[in-house]
Chain A
Amino acid sequence: MKKINIWILGIVFSISAFTASPGYTQVPSSEPVVGLRDNTPTTTVLQGGTIVVGPGHIIENGDIVIQDNVIRKVGVNQRVPAGAKLIKLNGHFVYAGFIDAYSPTDVDRTPATNGAPYWNDTVTPQLSVAAVYDSDESVNSQFRNQGFTARVVAPGMGIIRGASALVLTGTSENNSAILKSNLFQHIRLTVPQGRGRDQYPNSPMGAVALARQAMMDGAWYQKAWEAHQSNPSNQRPERNDALAALAPVLDASQSVVFVTSDEQYFLRADRFAKQFGLQAIMIGSGYEYQRLSNVVATKRTVILPINFPKAPNVGSIESARAASLESMMHWDLAPENPGRLVAAGVNVALTTQGLNNRKDFLKNVRRAVERGLSQEDALASITTIPAELTGMGSLLGKVEKNYLANLVITSENVFEDGSKIEEVWVAGERFEFSAPPLLALDGRWKLTGDLEGSELILTLSGKGPALEGSVSIQNSAAEETTVKLSKASIRDTRVSAVLPADQFEKEGLIRFTLTFVDAEAKQGIGQWIATDGSSGKFTAELLDAAESPQEKTEPDADDDAFESLAASFDVNFPLGAYGRSSKPTQSKLLLLTNATIWTSGPAGTLENASMLVDQGRIVAVGVDLKPPRGATIVDLKGQHLTAGIIDAHSHMATDGGVNESAQAITAEVRIGDFIDAHDPTIYRQLAGGVTTSNILHGSANPIGGQNQVIKLRWGATGEEMKFAGAPLGIKFALGENVKQSNWGDEYTTRYPQTRMGVEQIIRDAFERGRQYKKDWTQWNATKKGVPPRYDYELEAIVEILEHKRWIHCHSYRQDEILALLRTLEEFNIQIGTLQHILEGYKVAEEMAAHGAMGSTFADWWAYKYEVIDAIPYNGKLMHKAGVVVSFNSDDDELGRHLNHEAAKAVRYGGVEPAEALKFVTLNPARQLRIDQFVGSLEPGKHADFVVWSGDPLSVFSRCEQTWIDGRKYFDRQEDIASRMTLHKKRATLIQKILMSGEGMVGASAGPVKEAELWPREDLYCHTHRHTNQCLHAGLQKGRLQQLMEIINQEQMQQQQGEK
């Protein structure tokens, strides 16, 4: 394995080393001359370098002629003009100055920069970095130290953040330093963790919804002004600098840079950009390789951080057990991310962003090069590609005539270990980092002078300014003692150091300085002074020089070494222990025989029956099916076959939060924006027979966000999991949660705080929707006046009013249930489902009359006041009254055994077993209006089914196989068989981490994936107040909630004062 030379990171750069070379006085400028003109000759010739003109184009032993801030000539044997400064390169490598295409900064918002703002302070496209840019030498020097001569400074806060500027990293004033203002618009489709519950948006879902609305508002703003300007009688719209600033974004004349936090956020940003036809550039995350083909298909340029993850902690048995295969594979694969992306044809620019320390940049680039990124591509990614990206391809990125004199000069090939940046030029301004040492100070010198002792030998080594050294003393008895020097250093030609005085029969310390008088450090004169005040003189004479430390170690770049570096395991989907290597194959003519088939359809339950499946659909179900020619026959003797389980209320598989809880109405928010295909809960519920889930927004507000029905196509992307043909839906909620009863005493001001208010706010929303629809209808008919705003929130309400979107309403008490149904009836709306509906049994007749369906818990109760009358007979009673009833999970754990929940309908009230099973198959399908596709085993329906080891309602039965679309997504036997492979993979990577010698993630430093930041369950649904028991309950709950619990627990512990 190639050794990373750490020393290159430790170079201490000295800004004082640069010399003002030919300045900028010749640059055309409006600034008048004050005082004398400066007519210093401004031509410099860099002679005899290995000039890397651009990726793949090298001129050996070439010269560069620079005049002012521009390269005038590049070639071999250039004439040195009279008066030019000549700099010999001695074969050093010369590259075009690097460009960092993404460098975020905080931009203060002041009235001056903010202008007339958008109503929401996270949308500030009008902010311009160029307007506030103030070059900071300490920042610039960090960039220069890694070879960067230009960077895109981007606004770093908010959702729609503002415009970036391209600046040089030299010391010049803004007039020269800002190459381009108003470069890109910047968007990050999420919000910072921990925004207050009352600050909209407070979830990633809300952030996307807000950004989407802002885009629409930007388009509206232009039209509204056009309408006013073309006809002054049309009302004059508000002035809004934010919306005005979106105009170039919307007409795609300005590119938009999206910050993404993983590959799923990447694909989301791409969808967002596509919707509005934006020119998008993505800030990558390092996770792109996990969905490479999807990322490639977006054809977006990626600005890629190379903050490769530290190894997970596998130092102890316990910590290794907790380290997931996913985290180990990510550690193993991430360095290949740049190479894999480029090899797949993605346009990649590398950025320092994301590194804990910018000094790691070149080290990590070299690591990427070791792991498959070609040197040419690596160079392009920091020169020509960002140059083109910023529209500066004819000025930056190459060492060519008329390009800005932005150069990086390195001792060797910059992509190889041991290479060191010698100089960086920024627009003709020269920064030297490691002036060649004036003296070679590795060697031994004999010291002679008025110090006690017979013979003193000084040994020195090091590159300076700090040195290592010692003095050995031979006394008269020929005994040798060596004392180590402390604080040894060299400045210019002067060495100074401190050594203990006791060997010289003195107290304390002796300080000495030694000045070498010749270039080879053969002779030196020095003086010493001891703590006791005595002092003296001495001379030094070189005995022998050590071998040159510059000796080159050949990197062992042979193929074997590369092999051992390569990632150990292929990417699977999703990455980790239970990912798939490929999509399961779709069976053609599959005949499942000898099973007890619970059809959940008119055919009832069939003993010794068969089911024929072909290309994802059920072809036939019956007792005497003849196998068609070519059919694969699977004997399920003794086993039971049911339709796939459908969970009508789930919060798994979301990485954008479950609640956008800052406003009472958030109909614009979409769960579908944040389907998390990586949630292990998907696999764990597949293993319990679940094939379809209704992923719902939480219950924090009367009108919440839009839900998303998914199929549990484990391994697919979130988009691919979406249930095609499932009608639109939305979450409503009533009662304690929406009136913030259990949020804490400080939440008492948001409307509504009573069930009376809940009824009113829902009514008002429908009235608003009606008015909105009317305004649009009128405008569409006449096209007169100012066009109405397109309002995503009200669009969703209108869809409800027009029966295109089904309401799924969280509800408990009979009064609120009835009140909602009556309100809906007034607006001629039929409800989709009542969720939880724990007092549904009290108004079952009314529900049935309305056509309301009920999706309830089998037996949950007593967790808050409004469920005091919840009874496990609820399902039975609603069913008896003619309500379509389902049992749902609303819980990652419960969703693993919904068949057990169905059995509770038999236990509590004696529902017929086949009917009870429908509570988790056909009935939820009906509730989600997808029963024409799924929910029962009938010809023509999707081949979504489960094989059970026995009666599916028995607690003693197991789910053996789960099929979706005629593809087997779960097989218990395969799962068991793969455990040895999992064990071996883990063992391999644990070994690899331990052998790598790399530092491991400390307990605290673990990177937290964005998805982990957002709770995966409805914080408000159950009102958990447990502490210890929640810790027991496992790790699968939302991180946020867990943190809250722990903080709570710790506070309790801190209260102990006594013993």
Chain B
Amino acid sequence: MALTFSLPMNCQTIQNGSLSMLRNTLRAKRLIAFTIACFLFTMPAVAAVPEVPGPKQDHPIALVGGTIHTVSGKSITGGTLLFIDGKIAAIGQELNLPSNVEVIDVTGKHIFPGLIDANSNMGLVEINAVRATRDEREVGSFNPNVKAHVAINPDSEIIPTTRSNGVLLCLTAPSGGVISGQSAVIQLDGWTYEDLTIRPGAGLHVTWPLMAPVSDWQLTGNAKDSANARDKNMKNLEEFFNTARRYDEARRNDPSARIDLKLESMRDVLSRKIPVIANAENANQIQAAVAFSVRQKVRLIINGGYDAIYCTDLLKQHNVPVILGGVYRTPRRADDFYDLPYEIPAILEKAGVQFCIASDGRFGASMVRNLPFHAGTAHAYGLSIDGALRAVTLSTAEILGVENQVGSLEQGKDATLVIADGNILDIRTNVEAAFIQGRRVDLSDRHKKLYYKYDQRINRQAAEQAEK
């Protein structure tokens, strides 16, 4: 039944691929492999119901014959990747497979770790312009206690469209004010936010005050007002951290001391369990944020990081990583080279700064799906091809503290991976299948369903036309 679907999207090619698979594979379970492969690759496009989270992996699965882009090590051509109970059990050229294994022939395909975005409000914002659908910004300037993961809508229509492009994980963060709240790393499949969340408290998001205007438009009043506002914010921020430290001492001294939710939430930041993720684009913001982190003895990640290229030694010296807020950006200053935003990743790679590439954060989360193309563009402008893939997988995982679980294809890590028909960073590549913790991901989405629906209309009208 699946094969009757005629959209030239996945199934047509896979159907042929599956047939060739049949001929080529010498393995015993060829029939199963064929059936499952077709099911795997075609089902998402025709599902008339909302996307259903995949069932827990209940038998070993081996992906055979593809190019395995491990990211952590060398790529393996014609290799096998075995995963059991949601974890990668083995990767290699010749593997001994368990007897109950389900073999999926992916000859000619490419296997990548699921891509990870680090700059979104996935699940917090559905439609930018509709206030009722926005949950990313709490009132007030200091909200360290609000946590993104408890407000994620697992049924956001944006989630399926995002994983359709191979982005299987993302950091979803609150915004606004000085301290916006805590972000979470989520995987993009599951029934509840608890299923989705793999790391709550991934970072405490701070919007660094503008240290000095980089351009006159940033001033609403005069320079003095602007400087006063900055000084006030800086002072408040410092005081807030100092107060939190005193609170922490008091609480340690007397566990029965009264709870203050905001200050309580800061204790994990002060103990360096949760890093500060500071939105900072300008060099002086970055410098000030680094100095702050050293002074306050907290961990720091720079988010945005346009000027990180001017602070490489400082960042390296203090082991501060950078989340680049997109490669598709316009030059921020009048005289910046036209391709500077494209080249920043290459410059940071050369300088040895730890960084990852995130999407640009425009229009809520709806553009996160273009993450791979940010990295692809960075490669066109000098970032190594391996570095480009790493910048949206393992580097991101390392910076967000989930590298033991995701980010690369290694034994023991989650079987969170993508199967594509080419380099996943190129726009023309099709994502054909994906697994999250060994669970098959339904790659249908609202867009494909509307595509399917209205394709029928065009086909019928064409048929009626032909009859006439």
Contacts and interface: CB of A to CB of B under 8 A. Distances in A.
Nearest to B263: A1059
Most buried by A among B142, B221, B330: B330
A1056 B177 contact: yes
B370 interface: yes
Interface in B328-382: 328-335, 337-339, 360-367, 369-370, 373, 376-377, 379-381
Contacts of B338: 578, 683-684, 687, 896, 975
Most buried by A among B129, B333, B337: B129
A518 interface: no
B428 interface: yes
Given A318-B284, A687-B339, A862-B127, A897 B223 contact: no
Interface in B370-401: 370, 373, 376-377, 379-381
Interface residues of B, number: 97
A632 interface: no
B229 interface: yes
Interface in A842-864: 842, 844-845, 859-864
B427 A903 contact: yes
Interface residues of A, number: 101
Interface stretch (A620-628, A719-727, A1020-1028): A1020-1028
B376 A892 contact: no
Most buried by A among B212, B263, B379, B425: B212
Interface stretch (B46-54, B72-80, B95-103, B275-283): B275-283
B461 interface: yes
B213 A958 contact: no
Interface stretch (B31-39, B182-190, B291-299, B451-459): B451-459
B366 A862 contact: yes
A572 to B, nearest CB: 13
B363 A1043 contact: no
Given A684-B331, A910-B8, A1027 B175 contact: yes
Given A324-B335, A1008-B216, A1053-B233, A877 B458 contact: yes
B332 A1034 contact: yes
B212 A907 contact: no
Contact of B376 (A956, A1003, A1027, A1057): A956
A544 interface: no
A230 interface: no
A880 interface: yes
Interface stretch (A44-52, A339-347, A459-467, A865-873): A865-873
A868 B281 CA distance: 32
B317 interface: no
B70 interface: no
A864 B129 contact: yes
Nearest to B465: A845
Contacts of A1053: 141, 177-178, 229, 233
B139 A1034 contact: no
A919 B458 CA distance: 20
B158 interface: yes
A1031 B285 CA distance: 13
A131 interface: no
Q: Is the interface of B mostly helix, strand, loop or mixed?
A: loop
A175 interface: no
A711 to B, nearest CB: 19
B212 A1035 contact: no
Interface stretch (A185-193, A396-404, A440-448, A1044-1052): A1044-1052
B454 A877 contact: yes
Contact of B9 (A684, A842, A910): A910
Nearest to B429: A907
Interface string A928-939: 000000000000
Given A955-B426, A958-B380, A1028 B207 contact: yes
B262 interface: yes
A955 B427 contact: yes
Given A1003-B219, A1050-B229, A324 B333 contact: yes
Contacts of A1006: 216
Interface string B90-122: 000000000000000000000000000000000
A957 to B, nearest CB: 6
Given A954-B428, A955-B427, A1043-B220, A863 B363 contact: yes
B341 to A, nearest CB: 8
A897 B130 contact: no
A958 B127 contact: no
B57 interface: no
Given A862-B364, A956-B425, 8 more contacts: A871-B446, A877-B458, A896-B330, A954-B428, A958-B380, A975-B337, A1039-B217, A1053-B178
By Cβ-Cβ distance, the 7 closest A-B pairs, closest first, are A1056-B141, A955-B376, A1004-B223, A324-B334, A864-B129, A862-B366, A1006-B216
Interface of A: 316-319, 321-322, 324-327, 576-578, 680-681, 683-684, 687, 736, 741-742, 841-842, 844-845, 859-865, 868-869, 871-873, 876-877, 880-881, 892-894, 896-897, 900, 903-904, 906-910, 913, 949, 953-958, 975, 979, 982, 986, 1002-1006, 1008, 1012, 1022-1029, 1031-1036, 1039, 1042-1043, 1046-1047, 1049-1050, 1052-1053, 1055-1059
18 contacts: A321-B310, A322-B214, A844-B458, A845-B457, A871-B446, A871-B451, A873-B448, A880-B458, A881-B458, A900-B427, A975-B337, A982-B335, A1004-B223, A1023-B129, A1026-B361, A1035-B214, A1050-B229, A1058-B262
